[in-house]
């Protein structure tokens, strides 16, 4: 087992906001390259309404075409019962649900309150349990919100605890707009870890202010060993003005391997994949 587990979210979180439609075969080629680079966890697509996220309209075709290998887990975003049922039918290995630590962001992003978003997850959790599939929970705006400013650490801890109670096996804490600091990150992780075992937490940092790796280091120092990254730093959020892409997975691999910590990822292959996907998106007008 590697010292650090990296969850590659590029095929979903990285591509969902590309303006030009990314062809299904490009998505599948990206996923194959990522699998070849050594990833054991890849977020492949999202079972959400094409009306809201047109880039993910081909979710069923993507899941039908991904390479299936022993030990390779494909996660998909499925925030409601309809999406979860379709994701399970399509062969998802893991379902991800998402909410926020900010009421304003929750309403912008999910068109409901935090409490209502959690209520929507109940049938998702039930379906996942019946299918024997784990559920991962995302919490957005764990440090800062574009509408509310700084988010209290205890507010994040409360949402994370609710997701834990619902049955999420892992909770990914997202600095959605990338304005967080290492000090705020440490305070937030400490607060959440008092409610949810730190071994079940993951970090999801954006690099808007150039502090993603410093925040990763702060979370890791407190025991977090799972981090989300997006190849080539792809991604952003349509409901988070000014949010740059996720931290590049290449940067995460280099950061941890430079400290003598294993990730199980072939950095040369990953870097080549980053260059390749950027070139493909350029050709597609994304």
Using CA atoms, how far residue 6 sits from 40, 130, 230, in Å, is: 8, 27, 10
pLDDT confidence of residue 285: 59
pLDDT confidence of residue 19: 85
Number of domains in the chain: 1
Q: What is the CATH number of the domain that holds 183?
A: 3.20.20.70
3-state secondary structure 125-185: HHHHHHHCCCEEEEEECCCEECCCEECCHHHHHHHHHHHHHHCCCEEEEEECCCCCCHHHH
| Active-site pick, 141, 145, 168, 237 | 237
Per-residue pLDDT tens digits of the chain, which is 286 residues long: 999 999 999 999 999 988 889 999 999 999 999 999 999 999 999 999 999 899 999 999 999 999 999 999 999 999 899 999 999 999 999 999 999 999 999 898 778 899 999 999 999 999 999 999 999 999 999 999 999 999 999 999 999 999 999 999 999 999 999 999 999 999 999 999 999 999 999 999 999 889 999 999 999 999 999 999 999 999 855 555 555 679 999 999 999 999 999 999 999 999 999 999 999 998 765 4
Residue 168 annotated among the catalytic residues of the structure: no
The boundaries of the domain holding residue 168 are: 5-284
pLDDT confidence of residue 178: 92
pLDDT confidence of residue 235: 82
């Amino acid at each position: 087992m590697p010292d650090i587990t990296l969850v590659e979210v590029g095929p979903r979180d990285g591509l969902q906001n590309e303006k030009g439609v990314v062809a299904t075969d490009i998505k599948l080629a990206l996923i194959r390259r990522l699998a070849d680079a050594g990833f054991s966890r890849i977020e492949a697509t999202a079972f959400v309404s094409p009306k809201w996220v047109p880039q993910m309209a081909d979710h069923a075709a993507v899941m039908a075409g991904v390479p299936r290998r022993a030990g390779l887990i494909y996660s998909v975003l499925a925030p409601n019962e309809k999406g979860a049922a379709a994701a399970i039918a399509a062969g998802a290995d893991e379902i991800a649900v998402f909410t926020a630590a900010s009421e304003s962001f929750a309403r912008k992003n999910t068109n409901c309150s935090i409490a209502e978003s959690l209520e929507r997850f109940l049938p998702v959790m039930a379906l996942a349990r019946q299918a024997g599939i784990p559920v991962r929970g995302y919490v957005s705006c764990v440090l800062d919100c574009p509408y509310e400013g700084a988010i209290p650490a205890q507010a994040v801890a409360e949402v994370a605890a609710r997701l834990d109670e619902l049955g999420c096996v892992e909770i990914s804490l997202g600095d959605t707009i990338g304005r967080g600091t290492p000090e705020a990150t440490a305070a937030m992780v400490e607060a959440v870890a008092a409610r949810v075992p730190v071994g079940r937490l993951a970090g999801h940092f954006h690099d808007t202010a150039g502090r993603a790796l410093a925040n990763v280091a702060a979370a890791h120092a407190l025991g977090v060993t799972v981090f989300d990254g997006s190849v080539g730093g792809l991604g952003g959020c349509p409901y988070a003005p000014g949010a740059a892409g996720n931290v590049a997975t290449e940067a995460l691999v280099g950061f941890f391997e430079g400290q003598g910590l294993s990730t199980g990822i072939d950095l040369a292959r990953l870097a080549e994949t980053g260059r390749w996907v950027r070139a493909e998106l350029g050709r597609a007008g994304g």
